[in-house]
Structure 1
C-alpha cells in the first residue's frame, strides 16, 4: 500500500447509461434488479479504485427505490467511499434519472454497499484510510458508523439462540399479526 490515506475525491466514480426497453420489467419501468446490478458494478469500481485491490460485496444496506426509472431516461450513478475500516469500505451510491428531452432529473435510489478488499490469495487485505475534507464527508462517515452499530444491535437482539418471543409480544399488539404458539 503506497499511501496510508486517500482523498475521497480521488476515488469517486460516476457512470451514466441510457435505459433501454430490454431493461424494463412487466410494468414498463426499469427493473430494480438491473439497477442493483449496475450499483454493484460501480461499488466494485469505487472500492477497487480506493483500495488498489480486487473487492467483493459483503452487504448491501438501505436500498430505497424512491422514484421509478423510465425507458429512455439517462441514469447516472455516483459512488464514493463513505467509510473505511481495516479491510472493508462502505460505498455510498446515489442514482438519478434524467429525461434527456426535458432535462428533468429525479433522485431514484440511494444505497450503501460494504465492500471487502482481497489480496492475490483471496484473503482480506488492508485498505488505505480516507481524508475527510468537508462537513458532508464527516457526516457520511459518522452515518456509516451508526448504520453499522444499528445492524450489530439488531443482530444481537434477535440472535436465534437467545431470542425469547415472550419478551416481544407487547411489541406486536399494534401489527396485523395473530400469534398462535
Structure 2
C-alpha cells in the first residue's frame, strides 16, 4: 500500500457562528464545535484512506478561548500518522472576528478514525510519510498518544507501552 504525505489529507473548513450555534452567553456551544471538528477530521481521514471512515476516539480536546457569535471558525485537520487500519487526525481551531481582524487559536484536538470496506470491515490504510520537521514531530508523538488511548480504553497493558515508558525514563535521566 502506498504512503501519502500529511499534505494530501489537509482539510480546512470554515463555519460562521450563528445565533442557533450559541449558548446564553453568545459563545459557540462546545458540542457544536465538536460536531464541526468531527466532520473536518473525517474528511481529512477519508482523503488519506480513500475509504469511508468512522470515528474511533476523540481525545485531548482543549478549549483555550471562547468563540463568539459572529466569529468565523476555521478548522485545520491533517492526518499525523497511520497505523494498521486507523489514522490519527490533529485539529487546530481558529476563531476570527472579521470586523476587528482579530484571529485567535481556540482549540486543539486529536481524533482517531478507522477505515472500513463496503461490508463494514476494517481495512489497511496507507502509511504517512512526514516531510517537514513539524510533521515528523507529530508523527513520532502519535505513537505515544495511541498507546495512552489504548491504556485508557483498557485495550493495552501499561507494561506494553514502550514509547510511553521511554518518555518517562528519559525524563528521569
The 10-residue stretch of structure 1 (141-150 or 56-65) with the greater mean CA deviation from structure 2: 141-150
Q: CA deviation at 1:10?
A: 1.5
The 10-residue stretch of structure 1 (20-29 or 94-103) with the greater mean CA deviation from structure 2: 20-29
Q: CA deviation at 1:155?
A: 5.1
Given the alignment, which residue of 20, 24, 29 partners 1:22? 20
Q: How many pairs does the alignment contain?
A: 156
Using the size of structure 2 for normalisation, the TM-score is 0.86
Q: Give the match for residue 147 of structure 1.
A: 145
Mark the structure with the bigger radius of gyration. Answer: 1
Q: CA deviation at 1:152?
A: 3.5
Q: Give the match for residue 114 of structure 2.
A: 116
Q: Give the match for residue 103 of structure 2.
A: 105
| Structure 1 residues 53 and 155: alpha-carbon distance in aligned structure 2, compared to 1, 3 A threshold | closer
- Can you give the 5+ residue segments of structure 1 that lack an aligned partner in the other structure? 160-181
Q: Give the match for residue 47 of structure 2.
A: 49
CA RMSD of aligned residues (A): 1.6
Q: Give the match for residue 167 of structure 1.
A: none
Given the alignment, which residue of 63, 66, 72 partners 1:65? 63
